[in-house]
Amino acid sequence: MTRLLLAALLLLGACADIPRPHRGNPGGNALVLRIPLAVRLAVPPPPEALLADDAARLLSEELAAALQAEDVPAAATAAPLPLDWRLLVLAESRGNTVQPRLVITDADGREQGAVAAAPVPARDWAEGNPAVLRALAQQGGPRVTQLLLSVQSARAATTPAALTAGPPRLRLIPVTGAPGDGNAALTNRLREFLSNRGYVVQELAEGANHAVTAQVAVAPGSPGHQRVEIQWIVSRRDGHELGRVLQLNEVRAGSLDRFWGDIAYAAAQEAAGGVVEIIRNASSAPVEPAGGRR
C-alpha cells in the first residue's frame, strides 16, 4: 500500500525569526568539513575515452586540479598506489556528440558510483580541445566530490556485513516544476540529507535499488498567497511505487520566484526522513510483483 506522509513547509509569510541553518549557502564544501576524506583518488590518463594520449593526460591533470580545488586528495598519475581509489573517464560516441562518464572505483576495482557529464561535440572531443576538456573537469570536480563523500558516508554508516555487499544506492531524479532556483535547490539539499543517512545518491540508474523523484506544483491560494505542493515519489527497481512524501502549504505570492534558500533546506530535510521511512518499511514487507496491488 502506498504510504502518504504529510509535512508542512516553513511558514514563509513571516519576516523574521525564521531558522537559517545554511546562511551563506555553504553547499558541497560543508560536507567536506563534516566528513574528512579517508582515501586518495588517483586520476589516471583514460585509455578508454576516445582521446589521444596527450589529450588524455591533459584531462587527467585538469580533473585532478578540479578535485584538489574541492579539497579532495587527488593525483593525476598513470601508476596509482595500491590503496588508491580511482576516477575513470569513459566515453561513448553518439553520432555528432560524445557522452563522457566519470566513474569512481575502490582500490579493488569495484565501481562505487558514476556521474554523467554534459555531451561534448564529437569533433572537439576527437581533437582534444583543451577548453572543452577543462570545462569537463570544472563541471565534474564538484559532482565527483559530492559522490565520493556520499559513498564514504554510506560505507561508514553500514554494518560490516553490509559493507561486503556494498552501500545502498538510490537514484535521485532532478526535481521539476518549481519556480526560481527551487528545482536545483531541492535536489541538492535532498542529495545531502540522504547521503548523510548512509545512501549513495547517484544520477544513473545502474546499481540503484530505489529511485526518488519530485514534482512541485504552484497554484493560486487565498488572496495574496500561493499554494505550494511538493510530492516526493519513491519507487523500486521493478517500477513499483513504494510511497510518497507530500508537503503542502500556502506562501506569500511571489516569495519563491527567485531563491528558495532555507525553505529548500527544511523541505528536503523533512522529505529525507520520509523517504528513508518508506524504503525501510518496504524492505521489511513482503515484496509484491510488478503490477501487483498497491
Residues 153, 173 share a domain: no
| Residue 203: domain span | 3-14+168-283
Residues 182, 153 share a domain: no
Residues 156, 187 share a domain: no
Would 20 be classed as within a structural domain? no
Read off the pLDDT of each residue in 93-115 and give the average, rounded to a whole number. 88
Would 239 be classed as within a structural domain? yes
- In which band, very low, low, confident or very high, does the pLDDT at 198 lie, cut at 50, 70 and 90? confident
Least confident of 49-58, 155-164, 178-187: 155-164
Answer whether residue 212 shows pLDDT above 90.
yes
Domain count, the chain: 2
Would 24 be classed as within a structural domain? no
Please tell me the pTM assigned to this model.
0.50
Residue type, 15: C
Answer whether residue 184 shows pLDDT above 90.
yes
Residues 141, 121 share a domain: yes
**Residue 248: exposed, middle, or buried by beta-carbon count in 10 A (0-12, 13-18, 19+)?**
middle
DSSP state of 218: E
Would 289 be classed as within a structural domain? no
pLDDT of residue 280: 86
Would 292 be classed as within a structural domain? no
Read off the pLDDT of each residue in 8-36 and give the average, rounded to a whole number. 37
For the chain, where are the E strands, in sequence order? 3-7, 41-43, 74-76, 85-94, 97-105, 111-116, 120-121, 169-172, 200-202, 210-220, 225-236, 241-252
Residue with cell 515484496: 287
CATH number, domain containing residue 74: 3.40.50
Torsion of CA 187, 188, 194, 197, to 10 degrees: -160
Residues 132, 203 share a domain: no
Last residue of a domain, one of 163, 197, 228: 163
Last residue of a domain, one of 163, 194, 227: 163
Residues 267, 176 share a domain: yes
Residue type, 44: P
Residues 188, 139 share a domain: no
- What cell was used for 123? 569533433
Residues 266, 150 share a domain: no
User: Other C-beta atoms within 10 Å of 65: how many?
Assistant: 16
pLDDT of residue 208: 82
Residues 276, 194 share a domain: yes
Q: In the beta sheet, which residues pair with residue 235?
A: 211, 241
Residues 159, 42 share a domain: yes
Q: In the beta sheet, which residues pair with residue 130?
A: none
Residues 175, 125 share a domain: no
Would 119 be classed as within a structural domain? yes
DSSP state of 16: S
Least confident of 97-101, 159-163, 227-231, 245-249: 159-163
Note whether 235 and 244 are within 8 A (CB): no
Taking Cα atoms as reference points, which of 142, 165, 143, 163 lies closest to residue 154?
163
Last residue of a domain, one of 163, 185, 205: 163
pLDDT of residue 95: 87
Would 124 be classed as within a structural domain? yes
Read off the pLDDT of each residue in 247-273 and give the average, rounded to a whole number. 89
Residues 159, 93 share a domain: yes
pLDDT of residue 56: 93
Would 215 be classed as within a structural domain? yes
- In which band, very low, low, confident or very high, does the pLDDT at 275 lie, cut at 50, 70 and 90? very high
Helix 182-196, helix 130-157: angle, nearest 10: 40
> What is the average pLDDT score of the chain?
79
